[in-house]
Amino acid sequence: MSVVSVDSTGTAAPPPIVETFRGKHILVTGVTGFVGKVWLSMVLTELPQIRKFTLLARGRKGVGAKARFEEIAERSPALRPLRELYGSDFRQLLRDKVDVVDARLSADLCGLSEAEADALMADVDLVVHVAGLTDFEPDPPLAIEANLRGALNVAELAKRSAGKRMLHISTCFVAGRPSREVPESLEHGISPLGVKFDPRQELEELSADMASLATVRARTDHAMARGQRLGWPNIYTYTKGLAEHLLLMTPELRVSILRPAIVECARSFPMLGWNEGINTSGPLVWLLGTTFCRFPSRATNHFDVVPVDTVARGMILAAAELLRDEGREIYHVASGQRNPLTFGRAVELTALAWRRIHGRKQATTFESLVLRHLEARPVEADGDRLLDVNTVRRIARSVRSLLKGRDATTALPERMRADLGDSLNKRMKSASMKARNLDRQLGRVDDMLRTYRPFIHDHDWIYETTALPAATARLSEDERARFGFDVDDIDWRSYWLDVQVPGLEMWCIPILKGDSVPEDEPLPFNAVGRIAARAKSDEPTDESKRGPSACPEAADGPRPQRSVSA
């Protein structure tokens, strides 16, 4: 008699995640990016039963894809848990488990020949497509190549794979306009505004239009107008949204789409607070720590943030369901429905976090006496305000035009010219430069706020999030702790004050200021064949059970770091 275990939902429990991934070969794109790195690192750390990863990547600046990945693997903090776990065997792990293929996603078959593609894909169980261009308003042909053609070319490869399964990473913000509760599903061929359209025709027309327009501005304006006609507020969401429709039309391929909301600092994996590059909230948080602390947003709107390790867990859950041929079309990785954070609260928490930072002993007098008490608050975007960005820009320009090229000595009495003239001229020149820099800086701020406006002010979305909680409910207690969807557990106050803002302060804000962020020293490598034995083991070793270091100053002491220029 066979015994079927039943999960908490009353249905037959699926096999454990470790068993689902055992012996599987997964092809991944986008591992050099923020989410891709964390996911790869988490899977290799938590699921050593996996047989192989093939990474499609592109070389850069004369460095081949393999060398580029090795550099990331050895230096990126995202892979630190893996390096700590495997120590001197880390390089051996990469040799055994990871193949890197130089590929160009925008080319047919990602730049592979027919024979290469068939040979590679014959053994692949699942394709995970993370790569994409996340700029909101890039030159449209770049977004079309990366987010549309790239996705379709990867899908063509996936169709040739043994498993014929593809997990595509999209974004919740394909929901577009108008504000609403967004279901965890996709109406094929229906745009966010409810307009019926043909996705293939839309892509062809868009591509043709782009070819006929000469300037970036013209292309951007045209693509924005096309996207907005259908309900997508910018080029990023337009191309990602269109890709979803096209992928789900692909015959002979099981496609699941995972839509994360705003991906932010890690809660625990690879370490507390880890983030990479300039992401969505980094510039906003930075802005709120300056004198421009009036934040154009609606206090009651949802700020849908998810930590990057929650996204990685969601990817594991969705991939497992896809591997068991139980995958759904759409998975939302969002917090707004289950554990909402509003803009009002986020702005208040950011102000409090800056209050802490500006209250530190090493803070300057200006920071501790002025900025610390000049706290951020949400304001209406179009409200008249004293000292809003445009007013200050106008003042800065006036000051500059008043000072530029003037000779102060002419305004001084003759007897004072010799003593004060040079000094005054130097001061005027310096003030003029400062006014120019302020104007430029505020110009960037203004651009940024305009780009973000649909997401932080104009619209409010609540994303239905039921698929991943349902998948979590079917896990064993042990696997729920390791892979379960965990947004319900987030204490936003603690996350924002102790994880998010300190994380951005360390990993993102220095880049915004033109400074460098820390990167790990490579480990000394000394390959010993310990990996094979570990991979064969069903149970994680004691070593693998320990959590990753919580922060760079973890219990085992600060790690050696080197600075890398932004």
Partner 1 sequence: MQQAAFFRVEGTLLDRPALAAAAWLAGNARGLGGRALRLGNVAFAAPLSLASSLASGATATRVTWMGLRGMTEDRVEVLAEEYYDEYVQDDLMDVGRRLLDRARKDGRRIVLLSDNIEQIAGRLAEALEADDLICNRLEISRGKATGRLEEPVVGSHLAGQWARGFAKENDIDLDLSWAYGAHAGDSLLLSAIGKPCVVDPDFRLRRIARDNDWPVVER
Chain contacts with partner 1 (rule: CB under 8 A): 345, 348-349, 351-352, 355-356, 359, 375, 377, 493, 497
Cα distance between residue 129 and residue 255, in whole Å: 11
Report how far residue 96's alpha carbon sits from residue 24's, in angstroms, rounded to the nearest whole number: 14
To partner 1, the closest distance from the beta carbon of 23 in angstroms equals 48
Determine if residue 128 is left, alpha or beta; phi over 0 gives left, psi from -120 to 50 gives alpha, anything else beta. beta
Q: Which conformational region is residue 559 in: left (phi greater than 0), alpha (psi within -120 to 50 degrees), or beta?
A: beta
Q: Which residue's CB is nearer to partner 1, number 287 or number 351?
A: 351
Identity of the residue, 157 or 351, whose beta carbon is nearer to partner 1 in the bound complex? 351
Q: Which residues contact 437 (CB under 8 A, 6 or more apart)?
A: none
For residue 359, the minimal CB distance to partner 1 (Å) is 7
**232: Cβ–Cβ under 8 A, 6 or more apart, which residues?**
174, 176, 177, 191, 192, 238, 241
CA-to-CA distance for 223 and 210, rounded, in angstroms? 8
For every residue of 421-453, which 3-state class applies, written as one string?
Answer: HHHHHHHHHHHHHHHHHHHHHHHHHHHHHHHHH
Q: Which is nearer to partner 1, 237 or 335 (CB)?
A: 335
**Strands of 58-169, DSSP E:** 98-102, 126-129, 165-169
Give the strand pairing for 294-296 and 254-260: unpaired
- Report whether 308 contacts 35 (CB < 8 A): yes
* Closer of 377 and 534 to partner 1 (Cβ): 377
Which helix (H) or strand (E) covers residue 358, if one does? helix 343-358
Question: Would you say 377 or 397 has its CB closer to partner 1?
Answer: 377
Q: How far is the CB of 556 from partner 1 (least distance, A)?
A: 27
Q: Supply the minimum distance, in Å, between the C-beta of residue 376 and partner 1.
A: 9
For residue 500, give the nearest of 313, 237, 307, 223 by alpha carbon: 307
Nearer to partner 1 by C-beta: 22 or 355? 355
Q: How far is the CB of 125 from partner 1 (least distance, A)?
A: 46
Minimum CB separation of residue 492 from partner 1 in Å reads 8
Contact 315, 128 (CB under 8 A): yes
143-157 burial, b for 16+ CB within 10 Å, e for fewer?
bbbbbbbbbbbbbbb
Q: Do you know the residue count of the chain?
A: 566
Contact criterion met (CB below 8 Å) for 222 and 214? no
Using the minimum distance from each CB to partner 1, give the nearer residue, 189 or 344: 344
Distance CA 148, CA 404 (A): 48
Cross-strand bridge partners of residue 99? 54
Q: Which is nearer to partner 1, 51 or 345 (CB)?
A: 345
Closer residue to partner 1 (CB): 345 or 434 = 345
Contact 250, 154 (CB under 8 A): no
Task: Calculate the CA dihedral of residues 62, 66, 72, 73 and round it to 10 degrees.
Answer: -160
- Shortest Å, Cβ 299 to partner 1: 11
Closest to partner 1 by CB, 110 vs 462, is 462
Q: Which is nearer to partner 1, 346 or 408 (CB)?
A: 346
3-state per-residue secondary structure call for 226-278:
HHHHHCCCCHHHHHHHHHHHHHHCCCCCEEEEEEECEEECCCCCCCCCCCCCC
Cα separation, 527 vs 524, in Å, equals 10
Residue closer to partner 1 (CB basis): 493 or 546: 493
Give min distance, CB of 375 to partner 1, in A.
5
Nearer to partner 1, 71 or 375 (CB): 375
Q: Pick the closer one to partner 1 by CB: 200 or 493.
A: 493
Rounded to a whole number of angstroms, the minimum distance from the CB of residue 352 to partner 1 is 5
Residue-by-residue DSSP string for 294-329: EEES-TTSB--EEEHHHHHHHHHHHHHHHHTT---S
* β-pair type (561-564, 517-520): antiparallel
Least distance (Å) from partner 1 to the CB of residue 310?
21
Cα–Cα distances in Å, from 482 out to 16, 40, 531?
Answer: 12, 15, 21
